[in-house]
Amino acid sequence: MADAMVGAQMDEPLDDAAYNDAIERAASRGSYWSGSRLFVALSAMMFAGGAFAFFYLHSLDSSGMWRTDGQAPPDYVSVPVLVLTLGGAALFWGYTRRLLRGSAVTTDWLVATGVSAGAFLVAAIIQFVGMLNTGFFPGSTGYASVYVAIMPVFAVYCLGTAYWLETLFARVLRVRWVVSDEMPARDSMERTMFLGSAVGAKAFVVFVALVSLILFLLFSVLS
Amino acid sequence: MAKSGRIAAVLVALAAVVAVAAGVVVYLVAYPPTASASPVGSASAEVTMQTVPAYNQDPEPTWVSYMIKQGDSWVHTTMFQVPAHSLVHFTVYQFDTGSPLRNPFMNQTANLVGGAENVNGKDVSLIDANVGDGVGHSFAIPALGVSAIFPGVSGDSTNQCDVAAPCPMTFDHNTITFTIQTGDPGSYAWQCFVPCALGYPIGFGGPMSTLGYMNGFMEVVA
Amino acid sequence: MATDTTVAAGVDAGGIPDPHVGRGVWWRRPGLFYGVIGAVIGYAIGTWLGTWLAEDNQQVQGLGHNDFAVTLGYLVATIGWLAGMGALTYPLQKMAGLQPHVEHEEERTLGRYFRYTLDHKVVGVQYLVAMIAYFLVGGLFALAIRTELLSPTAHLFQPGTYLEIVGTHGTMMMMMMTSAIIGPFGNYFVPLMIGARRMAFPRLEALSFWITPAAFLVLLSGILIGGFPSGWTGYAPLSVEATQGMDAYLVAFGLMSISMIVGGFNIVVTVINHRAPGMTWTRLPLFVWGMLVTGMLMVLAAPVLTLSCYLTLLDRTVQTSLFNVQQGGSPYLWENLFWFFGHPEVYILALPGFGIAGELLPVFTRKPAFGYKTTVAGIVGVGLLSFFVWQHHLFDSGINADMRPMVMLTTEMISIPTGFIFLALIGNLWRAKIRLTVPMLFVIGGMLNFLIGGVSGVFLSDVPTDTVAHGSFFVMSHFHYTIMGGYIFFFFAGLYYWLPKMTGRMLDTRLGKVHFWSLFVFFNSTFLPLFAIGELGMPRRVFEYADSLQALNVWVSISAYLIGVSMLVFVYNFLKSTVIDDKRPLPENPWGSRGLEWLTSTPPAADNFVRVPTVVSGPYEYGTGAGPMAVMSSPGYPRVPEGVS
């Protein structure tokens, strides 16, 4: 809510535009924060549906066709995807944390974000290409079906993450002062929106990394 | 815009909506058409059908299908009318090939007048689907306990029907005749029980679950 | 890419004007025209792509039709439609590092209703007109059903066609109508009622609306490609084996689920973050509470529906076997996933109506809202519990019998928070000076209908009675009482109440009363006998029934036609008041409401409020001597907003 923000800033009466602007900035910052968490929540519900399908069909083992012996995606797909998503998330999370604390050099953050976006993009490409060579027919078993269903969704999420990070990267590349803590940039809507987006992305990459780990455990580790 | 203009615009819009709605209703009412059985006598009727391996016409050119003869022409329908409390004589021209049955119980006739059907001039009440040319299709009315089975045309035949339905009699086919007894008026669902819908998970989708192809209704009227 | 490293360059550097805003000839900016072109091109590309990808596929050759081509045709057409409307402009600009501003249109032209507009009020009106259209189309299918059921033996349609019609009616109503209240009234009024100048994510709001025409047309197009035999619930394995019309159902429902997610997401974030100073949680209007919880349900339940539709499309196209028992799948997987969305959906349809009832009752009883906190607790409680009841839809389809008592208990528990809401709503009438305006009539009518629907629902939550009534017209009547009798009545209450604010036009009161009374009488005349018909053994989705039930069915059908006549009265009233008649001056606040939305101009200015208001009291302080609930526009006021701790 905007109250605390406005109250804290107002030493003098503000004209309508400045008053509205102050409230809008606080609301926008909050919107990015809660919006990103809500996006994580709704994404979690969708992946939970996939996890439900996994365990439900696993436990039913209809016609003894849950999974054939040794049926698993190739390691040369699943391992790189895991490494790239975990690494990309860690890199972006760490540097953005420093940026938000004011201790990061902008160029370092740019490099880290660019690399991280690239990592998620490559992970998505590997996963998509990997779907063409899983080594099993989609409908051969319940396991194969769930894998063929869920992994493209995850690849789309990797692609989406790469897109989100790229927008942050491109924004700073174009307008460096959005990360500046000096006036007038500090009180600008531009900066508010950039930082809000960065804070949201910081939470989101952690979620995607977590999903990556869980999917790896489900499809490549659990027997 | 003047008030008269606004009224005109509203009326035009409403007329368009009514026209579209009427078109949809006409479309929904018209399909599939219903054929009437040919009266044979005061208490009997004749239904002539054929099963084609592929309809070869839009909207589903690759689907297997029944067709029913109305007068001298073949109609793409599986809806037909017959009289109540009567003997109905069926003649079926089977142009499709056959296969083994998933459910062997379906290899026998049931509740046909005389206890058997006639295949190419020979009375038959049971067909071993695992030998010879197998079973192509069946005609069953669950509510009456009726079932007739149609042996397939040889898969090695070089004269199989491959033209747009209906299939002319010049192509290889089996001729099956049988008779059933109808009861009270009403709609009786019938269908083929051979899972012949290639490409569907258990063979019962597509043409098997679509009126006008492998299932339909026998309307028994007073 | 130009790089600007100086703060002094100004805070607007890198920002660009919104491409959707501003004057200009219509063909020079995105809009409906380009949307249609995009859809046509997209459909052609998608169909070609699907054909190219899968024409040699053995299954496709066996089926004789290519579900890939149909599905991709629909999906790429939708992308083309949205691209033509301008939905992709912003994401692409973001990729280039640009930050388009949200600018509201000052011009009030008809054309803005056909564009990807960012003004929540325009989106609200777009939703209103569209939802009325979807509802009337769904209603025509209902009349077709009742026409078929005039006779047990003489048939207008073939049985398969009848199933198509039933499925299209059900899906249209249960799918499109999820947004009938949150779409028009939620989008239009939530920002106004909480003192916000805009929605949190205006582009998402526009997206949520412009997906609905695509979903609507895709669903209707299913009729042209064989329809779908599964009813609105789309059960497997029938859904996997059905013909191409099923693709239309799955794509349309999937699209609508995305619309729900996006729309609900926006509402939730807006309510949390964009409340004006002083708009504390305990001052939040009940309608906004209803929207907030409905939005949460949409955000958390609809993703599972998106997934379900996607999984079924995979079974139909790339030949996974998620619902095929022989290959390790299970049709129960669909039932669980679908109803995990489907039962919260029931409350997605109920809670907005409760919100409207809670909002309107204090206005027309002229006293403070009875049991405000109880009502809020009820709304939140219903929302929470709605996620724990879905398996009662599986009582008779093979659920482990030992599980049934637990699900029965959770289902019955939901009547407790519902009871909170209902008792509080009734409490508003206690010793009140009731004004029987048209909106008030619809609220009372909706409450009476919902009561019958709710009580019959308690029967159905019991395993023994559900086992008997399952799949019958009793169930059908039950949910029509809650959805049409409750939700749609409350929708009309909101429409009659808020239309003066949205358009500056008041619907004719005399015609409104004719509409209400005819709808109330004929609705009950239609659906009350259906309880009996169900109890007498008539199953749903079957076009033949016992001869002995014909008299009742004819009665019901004639009553249904009269509902249609009642709707024509409404359509006439709506068109006459909003399109045909010349605008007559209205009082700014015709109902004498304290609501914040009535403290702005009519229709509201582009940014709603000149200055973000400061809320100083609750919205329902009728008869307490309280002043206006907010300080609206006072330059320099306040230095520190009142009510801020």
C-alpha to C-alpha distance for C455 and C466, rounded to whole angstroms: 13
Q: Where in B62-214 does DSSP place strands (E)?
A: 65-70, 73-75, 79-83, 87-94, 117-119, 122-124, 135-141, 146-151, 174-181, 186-191
Amino acid C634: pLDDT: 54
* Two tokens, residue B132: 């010879």
Across the strands, what pairs with B147? B110, B140
Secondary structure letter of residue C578 according to DSSP: I
CA–CA distance, C1 with A142 (Å, rounded to integer)? 49
Coil, helix or strand at residue C521:
helix
Query: Is some CB atom of chain B closer than 8 A to the CB atom of C415?
Result: no
- The verdict on a CB contact (< 8 Å) between C641 and A170 is no
Report the gap between the CA of C323 and the closest CA in chain A (Å).
9
- By C-alpha distance, the chain A residue nearest C4 is A175
Which residue range forms the structural domain that includes residue B108? 33-221
Partner residue facing B60 (CB), from C64, C544, C580:
C64
Alpha carbons A88 and A115: distance in angstroms, whole number: 7
Q: With CA atoms as reference, report the closest residue to C363 among C423, C449, C288, C439.
A: C439
Q: How many CB pairs under 8 A join A and C?
A: 243
Cis peptide before C277 (omega within 30 of 0): no
Other Cβ atoms closer than 10 A to C132: 18
Contact, C139 vs C564, CB < 8 A?
yes
What's the pLDDT at C222?
93
Clarify whether residues B81 and B24 are in a common domain.
Answer: no
Per-residue model confidence as pLDDT tens digits over C328-348: 999 999 999 999 999 999 999
The mean of the pLDDT values for chain C is 90
Direct distance between the N- and C-terminal alpha carbons of chain A, in angstroms, rounded to an integer: 48
Residues B24 and B129 in one domain: no
B172-200: pLDDT as tens digits: 999 999 999 999 888 888 999 888 777 67
pLDDT at C3: 45
Interhelix angle A106-131/A75-100, rounded to 10 degrees, is 160
* Residue C151 touches chain B, beta carbons under 8 Å: no
Give the pLDDT confidence of C543-576 residue by residue, as tens digits. 888 889 999 999 999 999 999 999 999 999 999 9
CB atoms within 10 A of CB B172: 16
Mean pLDDT value of segment C516-524: 98
Spatial separation of the C-alpha atoms in residues B103 and B107, rounded to whole Å? 8
pLDDT digits (tens, 9 = 90+) for A129-152: 999 999 999 999 999 999 999 999
> How far apart (Å, rounded) are the C-alpha atoms in residues C381 and C379?
5
Best residue in C333, C336, C341, C610 for a mutation probing chain A (most A CBs within 10 Å):
C333
Contacts of B78 in chain C (CB under 8 A): none
- The arithmetic mean of pLDDT across residues C377-382, rounded, is 97
Cα B138 to Cα A21: distance, rounded to the nearest angstrom: 76
Chain C hits for B28, Cβ within 8 Å:
144, 157, 161, 164-165, 223
In the structure, what pLDDT confidence band is assigned to residue C463 with cuts at 50, 70 and 90? very high
Place of tokens 């490559």: A122
**Superfamily of structural domain C117-580:** Cytochrome c oxidase-like, subunit I domain (1.20.210.10)
Q: What is the rounded distance in angstroms from the CA atom of residue B132 to the CA atom of residue B151?
A: 9
C142 membership: H or E segment, kind and range? helix C120-148
- pLDDT at residue C643 tops 50: no
Q: In the prediction, which pLDDT does C312 show? A: 97
B11, B69: one domain: no
B192 with B164, same domain: the answer is: yes
The domain locations on chain A are 11-63+72-221
The strand pairing partners of B84, in sequence order, are none
pLDDT tier for residue C7 given thresholds of 50, 70 and 90: very low
Q: Where are the alpha helices (DSSP H) in C536-631?
A: 550-575
Domain identity same for B112 and B157: yes
B–C interface: beta-carbon pairs under 8 A: 102
Asked if omega into A80 is within 30° of 0 (cis), the reply is: no
Query: Alpha-carbon distance C587 to A23, whole Å?
Result: 31
CB-CB contact of C241 with B209 (8 Å): yes
Instruction: Give contacts of C160 with chain B, Cβ < 8 Å.
Output: 210-211
CB A116 within 8 Å of CB A89: yes
- How far apart CA C106 and CA B167 sit, in angstroms, is 68
Sequence ranges of the domains in chain C: 27-94, 117-580
Q: How many domains does chain B have?
A: 2
Of A23, A146, A166, the CB nearest to C95: A166
User: With pLDDT > 90 as the criterion, what percentage of chain A qualifies?
Assistant: 74
Q: For residue B34, what pLDDT band results from cuts at 50, 70 and 90?
A: low
Q: What pLDDT is stored for residue A5 in this prediction?
A: 43
Pairing status of strand B79-83 against strand B215-221:
parallel
Tell me phi and psi for residue C633, to 5 degrees.
Answer: -145, 105
Distance CA A167, CA C97 (A): 6
Grade residue C14 by pLDDT with cuts at 50, 70 and 90.
Answer: very low
* The pLDDT value given to residue A87: 98
pLDDT at C102 over 90: no
Structure-block tokens of residue C518: 């005819």
The stretch C226-235 carries a mean pLDDT of 91
Q: Please count the other Cβ atoms lying within 10 Å of the Cβ belonging to residue C147.
A: 17
As a whole number of angstroms, the distance between CA C386 and CA C461 comes to 13
Q: Left, alpha or beta for B38 (phi > 0: left; psi -120 to 50: alpha)?
A: beta
CA angle (C155 as vertex; C152, C158 as ends), nearest 5: 120
DSSP one-letter string for C318-385: T---TT-GGGT--HHHHHHHHHHHHHHHHHHHHHHHHHHHHHHHHHHHTSPPTTHHHHHHHHHHHHHH
Residue-level pLDDT at B2:
82
Q: Is A12 on the interface with C (CB under 8 A)?
A: yes
Tokens of C49: 């792509």
Strands of B174-214, DSSP E: 174-181, 186-191
CA distances from C188 to C205, C291, C345 (A): 11, 12, 22
Q: Looking at the structure, do residues B44 and B14 belong to the same domain, yes or no?
A: no
In this structure, of A51-65, C156-170, C321-335, the range with the lowest mean pLDDT score is C156-170
The span from the CA of A23 to the CA of A1, in Å, is: 9
> In chain A, what residues touch C637 (CB-CB under 8 Å)?
13
| CA angle (B203, C60, C303) in 5-degree steps | 85
**Across A101-105, A215-219, C124-128, C375-379, least confident range:** A101-105
Whether residue C468 is predicted with pLDDT greater than 70 in this model: the reply is: yes
- Neighbouring chains of B at 3+ CB pairs under 8 Å are C
Q: Could you confirm whether domain A11-63+72-221 is CATH 1.20.840.10?
A: no
B5 and B112, same domain (yes or no): no
Q: Which comes out higher in pLDDT, residue B189 or C368?
A: C368
Cis peptide before C603 (omega within 30 of 0): yes
Q: What are phi and psi of A206, to 5 degrees?
A: -65, -40
Phi-psi region of C29 (alpha: psi -120 to 50; beta: other; left: phi over 0): beta
What DSSP line would sit under C399-439, residue for residue?
--GGGHHHHHHHHHHTHHHHHHHHHHHHHTTTT------HH
Cα–Cα distances in angstroms (integers) from residue B161 to residues A189, B62, B97, B206, C289, in the given order: 73, 13, 10, 21, 67
Report pLDDT for C477: 96
Summary mean pLDDT of chain B? 86
Mutate to test the interface with B, among C135, C155, C165, C243 (most CBs of B within 10 A): C243
Nearest CA in chain A to C639: A13
Residue predicted with more confidence, B107 or C476: C476
Rounded to whole angstroms, how far apart are CA atoms C564 and C378? 34
Residue of chain B whose Cα is closest to the Cα of C110: B1
Q: Which amino acid is located at C175 in the chain? A: M
β-strand partners of A39: none
Q: What is the pLDDT of residue B89?
A: 94
Tokens 């509470």 -> residue:
C289
- Inter-residue contact B52 to B168 (CB < 8 Å): no
Residues B14 and B84 in one domain: no
Distance CA C458, CA C413 (A): 10
Task: State the pLDDT at residue C155.
Answer: 78
Beta bridge partners of B141: B146
Instruction: Say how far apart CA C303 and CA C298 lie, in whole Å.
Output: 8
pLDDT, residue C75, reads 97
Verify whether the Cβ–Cβ distance C321 to A139 is below 8 Å. Answer: yes
User: According to the model, what pLDDT value does residue B32 have?
Assistant: 61
Q: Give the pLDDT score at C636.
A: 44
Q: What is the pLDDT of residue C79?
A: 97
Q: What's the pLDDT tens digit per position in C256-308?
A: 999 999 999 999 999 999 999 999 999 999 999 999 999 999 999 999 999 99
Mean pLDDT of chain A: 90
| Amino acid identity for residue C140 in this structure | L
The residue-averaged pLDDT of C121-130 equals 96
Q: Is B3 on the interface with C (CB under 8 A)?
A: yes
Q: Has residue C639 got a pLDDT over 70?
A: no
Q: Are residues B117 and B142 in the same domain?
A: yes
Which one of B29, B79, B187 has the shortest CB-CB distance to C544? B187
Burial C476-501 (b: 16+ CB within 10 A, else e): bbbbbbbbbbbbbbbbbbbbbbbbbb
Sorted by sequence, the CB contacts under 8 Å of residue C154 that are 6+ apart come out as none
Given a cut of 70, whether residue C12 has pLDDT beyond it is: no
pTM tops 0.80, yes or no: yes
Strand partners, B41: B44
- CA-nearest residue to C633 within chain A is A16
Better-scored residue on pLDDT, C268 or A99: C268
pLDDT for A9 equals 45
ipTM: 0.93
pLDDT of residue B180: 95
CA angle C393, C397, C398 (to 5 degrees): 115
Q: At what angle do helices A75-100 and A189-216 cross, to 10 degrees?
A: 150
Rounded CA gap, C614 and C632, in Å?
7
pLDDT above 60 (res A21): yes
Q: Which of B28, B63, B205 sits opposite C157 (nearest CB)?
A: B28
Helices and strands (H, E) in chain C, number of each type:
21, 4
Residue C619 has pLDDT above 50, yes or no: yes
- Count the alpha carbons within 13 Å of C534 in the hemisphere toward its beta carbon: 25
Question: Does B79 lie in the same domain as B13?
Answer: no
- Most B CBs within 10 A among C63, C68, C163, C217, hence the mutation to make, goes to C63
CB contacts of C226 in chain B (<8 Å) are: 59, 210
Distance CA C261, CA A168 (A): 24
Model confidence over C393-413: pLDDT tens digits?
999 887 888 889 999 999 999
Q: Which residue, among C42, C166, C15, has the nearest Cα to C97 in the 3D structure? A: C15
On the question of pLDDT at C25 being above 80, the answer is no
Q: What does the alpha-carbon distance between residue A57 and residue C143 come to, in Å, rounded to a whole number?
A: 41
- Residue C271: both structure tokens together: 């309510």
* pLDDT at B41 (0 to 100): 57
Tell me the torsion sign for CA atoms C56, C57, C59, C63.
negative
C267 touches chain B (CB under 8 A): no
Asked if residue B215 and residue B125 are part of one domain, the reply reads yes
Same domain, B130 and B45: yes
